[in-house]
């Protein structure tokens, strides 16, 4: 599979497109918004510079990657040669369903469809794809090239050969595949991370220990580069809030609601969004937990 269409070119879609182009794929990038498409084009030029500076790749390699990227405002044109699509439209079920109905109407029969949805499972919109046997999740993390796992997860109706082909494809894209043999909300990484972060938040917001002590405990005990509160800064306070609120609503647990509200009043309302805004639990670019004395 050499031709990939990346559908939705926001934060994650633009990264997936670059990663695929850099690894030799022909990439068609589509977005419903011409502004988003323009922004993706600019980001790709920035990624080219970043790759040269940070990862010491040659200018020629990045130039070739840029040449393999094409941008489309028309969905049918974007997918006309696609062996595989990677969809990164917003995480809203109705938007996904509506999008797949439109994609199903214009994509060639051979095309495999993959979704990058983080919180939904493929069976929630497999019928709308019109080809459930060729539909599954290929889930990336942010930034795609550093957290370079690709979680591959089908639903009960996904063909085994299609699943295997996508696992192989992720390797060709420079990713480490993480095959999941059953549908699992949160895949592997978020199934681990979510209860971990929630346990840390309970300890801190219930006044059991302060967040630096909790991070330090984790880092000394496991050798990890950061603890749960450093990870929350990386994930970002808005996402933390959304996830905690969702859980509070699902469980009706008043403690969960309190934790979510604390994130809002103590962080979001003050513009402390995490690493992205320069401050969350820690201040960036030199957070306290990177100081060697932190572990004393």
Contacting residues toward ligand NAD, per CB under 6 A: 7-13, 31-33, 36, 88-91, 95, 99, 116-118, 140-142
What is the closest distance, in whole angstroms, from the C-beta atom of residue 158 to ligand NAD in the complex? Answer: 18
Minimum separation from the CB atom of position 235 to ligand NAD (A): 8
Query: Going by C-beta distance under 8 Å and a sequence separation of 6 or more, which residues neighbour residue 20?
Result: 4, 6, 27, 86, 173
Please, what is the minimum distance in Å from the beta carbon of residue 42 to ligand NAD?
13
| 3 state DSSP class of 42 | helix
Cβ-based nearer residue to ligand NAD, 8 or 287: 8
Quote the least distance from Cβ 275 to ligand NAD, whole Å.
12
Between CA 62 and CA 215 the distance in angstroms is 38
186 vs 180, 246, 289, 294, CA distance in Å? Answer: 11, 13, 27, 32
Cα–Cα distance measured from residue 43 to residue 21, given in angstroms and rounded to the nearest whole number: 13
CB nearer to ligand NAD: pick between 33 and 64: 33
Residue nearest to ligand NAD (CB): 10
Helices and strands in the chain, H and E counts: 11, 8
- Separation between Cα atoms, residue 3 and residue 30, nearest integer Å: 14
Task: Pick between residue 72 and residue 281 the one whose CB is nearest to ligand NAD.
Answer: 72
CA 91/CA 98 separation, integer angstroms: 12
Closest to ligand NAD by CB, 7 vs 214, is: 7
CB of 114 to ligand NAD, least distance (A): 11
Backbone angles phi, psi at 155, to 5 degrees: -115, 180
Q: How far is the CB of 186 from ligand NAD (least distance, A)?
A: 11
Closer of 1 and 120 to ligand NAD (Cβ): 120
Among 102, 119, 112, smallest CA distance to 133 is for 112
């Amino acid at each position: 599979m050499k031709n990939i269409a990346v559908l939705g070119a926001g934060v994650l879609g633009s990264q997936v497109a670059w990663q695929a182009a850099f690894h030799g794929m022909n990439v068609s990038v589509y977005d419903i918004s011409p502004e988003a498409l323009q922004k993706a084009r600019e980001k790709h030029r920035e990624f080219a510079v970043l790759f040269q500076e940070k990862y010491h790749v040659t200018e020629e390699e990045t130039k070739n990657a840029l040449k393999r990227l094409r941008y489309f405002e028309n969905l049918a044109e974007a997918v006309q040669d696609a062996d595989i699509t990677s969809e990164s439209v917003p995480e809203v079920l109705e938007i996904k369903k509506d999008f797949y109905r439109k994609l199903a109407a214009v994509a060639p029969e051979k095309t495999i469809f993959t979704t990058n949805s983080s919180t939904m499972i493929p069976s929630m919109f497999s019928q709308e794809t019109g080809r459930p046997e060729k539909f599954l999740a290929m889930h990336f993390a942010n930034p795609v090239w550093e957290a370079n796992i690709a979680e591959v997860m089908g639903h009960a109706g996904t063909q085994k050969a299609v699943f295997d082909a996508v696992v192989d494809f992720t390797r060709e894209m420079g990713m480490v595949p993480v095959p999941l043999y059953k549908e699992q909300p949160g895949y592997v990484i978020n199934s681990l991370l979510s209860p971990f972060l929630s346990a840390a938040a309970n300890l801190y917001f219930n006044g059991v220990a302060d967040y630096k002590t909790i991070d330090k405990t984790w880092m000394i005990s496991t050798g990890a580069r950061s603890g749960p509160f450093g990870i929350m800064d990386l994930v970002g306070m808005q996402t933390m809030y959304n996830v905690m609120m969702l859980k509070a609503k699902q469980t009706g647990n008043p403690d969960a609601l309190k934790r979510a509200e604390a994130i809002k009043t103590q962080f979001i309302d003050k513009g402390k969004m995490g690493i992205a805004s320069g401050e969350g639990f820690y201040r960036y670019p030199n957070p306290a937990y990177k100081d060697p004395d932190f572990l004393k």
